[in-house]
Structure 1
Amino acid sequence: MGTLRTARHRGAAVALLLPVIIGMAGCGAEDKAGTGKTGAGKAVYGQPLAEQFQAATDATRDAGTAAFVSTLTYGAAGGDAVQEAKGSQDYERGTALAELGLSAGRHFPAKALEFLRAPGPDGKQTVATAEDDVYVRQGDSAWLKYTPEAVNELGEATGVIAAHAAGDVAPYSGTLADLVPRVIPREKPEPREDGSRVYRLTALPEVAAELLPRDLQSLQHDWGTDPVPLTVRLDADGRLAAATADLGPVLARLHEQKVLVEVKQLRATYRLGDFGKPVKAGGPDQGGRPVEDAREVLAPLGSMKDGRCAGTGGTGLGGTAVVRPVDCADRHDLRVLAQVKVDRTLPGKQDIANGDVYARVACERALADAPEAWRRGGADGYGLVGSSRVGSSFGMGGGGAETTVTGDYTCYLRTA
């Protein structure tokens, strides 16, 4: 699925971002010509053009509550894949509740779909926010609470969760709502018969790229200069009703990294409605479901000792970077085989992307040396997680160029 950073995130990593919602534009007393001289929209439309989006953000918050739908749509020849967040927001309390999910057409490219599914758990997920804290729940499980402290301790993999923490713009972050007050309209909007107005403008590609899930953001650091087309609709009362961004320029930069090459279109949308109506019930402070602190029940796989076991479910995350440690006598998905370091210096300037190949050699050696009881539990060989850095330098005393590869990896046995 993240990640528009806002001031209230306090360093809690971003991330994934999935985005948008059902739109039901409100009807105000504004005149049909859309002059903004009468009715509730005057507080927005009476402002100078350059200040109207900031005023619209304030008017939206002043509504108290709203329903939202946020989507990120990946278009391919075989159909679309859609990451969606749908729920409600309480601006006064700084809380939100949303259902997150990924759906895809039957003929959407399998390789691209596997890539999109990797960062998150299978199936739908419920996310709740309460200011800086984010709660996640899968099915009927307990709520898992990610505080900023938990995010800092558990590492970058939690960015896909932290991306949604309440910000200055909205209680659910990581959507086009966060982007709107950061762009300035230059041309007068198009008035509509219902009193709403449509603005057509562009956003900087590096800003629009923050709408991408965290794992996609990390693949590119130069998003180029091609502007991203953006359409924003404010309702008759000047509140944000809908926004759409054509992320084609951002997708083109991903294609340069050989990422999602079968995806030909990328679009983000956001819709708001039901302003002022009671929000959806079912948050972590309702229903009596238990709440677990992520810091107490989860751990980075890289921090676990050799031989320890863990489960990968119930983290709100995909992958194995963050796991739930358990006793090896209990049900588990993996066992830590070894923590290994890569530290290699090679002559000359080498064309090496990372240290994975050296880590695999170390993992195979650890597998050969592992107790037989561990190997019997292995269901599908070993896996590894970790990261590395590659650098070039000149040797001491005027020597030739050298390439260094350093990194930390965890080798683990899959047991289920």
Structure 2
Amino acid sequence: MIPLTSTALAHAMLTAAARSSDVALSYLSLDYEEGPLGLLERLRFMSKQYAHTGTLPRWNDLYDCLLQRLQHISEDTSPHAVRKHLNNSLHHWVSNLTRYEDMSLTALSSMLTNNYSYWIIDRMSPLWPAQLRDLYLNTEDSCPPLCLWGVGDPQVLTSCDEPYGIIGSRSVNSYGRQVAFECAKDAALHGHLVISGGALGGDAAAHWGALAALDITDTPGKTVSIMAGGLKHIGPAQNNTLFQRITDSGGAIISEMTPDTIPDSYRFHDRNRLIAAYSSTLIISQAQLKSGAMNTAKWSAQMNRLIYAAPGNINTPYNAGCNNLIHEGKANILPSCTNLDSITGHHEVHDAPMSQAQESQDNKKGNEEMSEDTEVLPAESNLKLYSKKNAEESASPTFSPSSPSSTDSALELLF
């Protein structure tokens, strides 16, 4: 289990406050002078005041911070609209935080990691998928996750520079399943990471295809499944065997939401933006005109990803989405399920993730080197002194999720 950093824990609490992807909170976590730790401390203070008085204390500092960012993006930004939106958001955030007011920090960390069975990373982690930043750059009204929860091997998240997203509608027929399976197997055989959503139909076929590469080579690319809800609601249940195989084979299952988040229907569209952002190339095996796969294609187009769609029989609704994407020039035609790299122009072979034995040896070496010159924060250190710049330029203070009894002093530094 990787260590849980203080900034990742702060971002997890901010996610608990928002309960969904939130552009305003994301910008504040980037720009607030005292960084995500200071922002969380600020909101917790406001939450306590709100719980006792029913009103918000002054928040001009948050307003000025958000307004500056939004006006930098667009000179037409209305200060009045920003103030109104932030006022509504703050009531929502601090109201959600009141439920955690009486919990100790150790209890909070245990809750957010499901008793330390999940890992949490944020953008300051070297394991953070850098592609997600494109949700800031190339989309409207969207943002990257504040953090990611996961089970499985976190190292796999950055194991490939050019992941393939391979998806299909839940209602795919045997043709759509075969296309997803064969494309994913070919991608994994050439060392690529395969991203999909874990749903029935095309997504499941893609994950199984990536896993099938294990029967052919010892060093295939792995697969990552992105959930719409929290990790306590990994599903659908019909794919439980698949999910177990993903984690057992060195892949990962991730979510941007707190573990208890129910996968309501709108969250699947939010999840689709992550599949699109994470993937350098999106392959759609089969899709109807109105489907989650088509929504993912829309996100991919906004972020200038390569999109390939498998053509199909024009007389059946199963293929209408893919055929329409090709007809409108929004997707390239997928001519084959093999030799994908020659079709897409990607590098033919990527280094597969290191073996567990090699990883263990490297970690041991790294720990030995770290023990010689690691700086230990004194107990009276105040993490409020960690500005956003310091937090990004230096490693965040960490504690081991596997040792909850030893976390009290480190956690107390958060607030």
TM-score normalised by L of structure 2? 0.26
Q: Please say which structure displays the higher CA radius of gyration.
A: 1
TM-score normalised by L of structure 1? 0.26
| Structure with a larger share of its residues in strand | 1
| Structure with a larger share of its residues in helix | 2
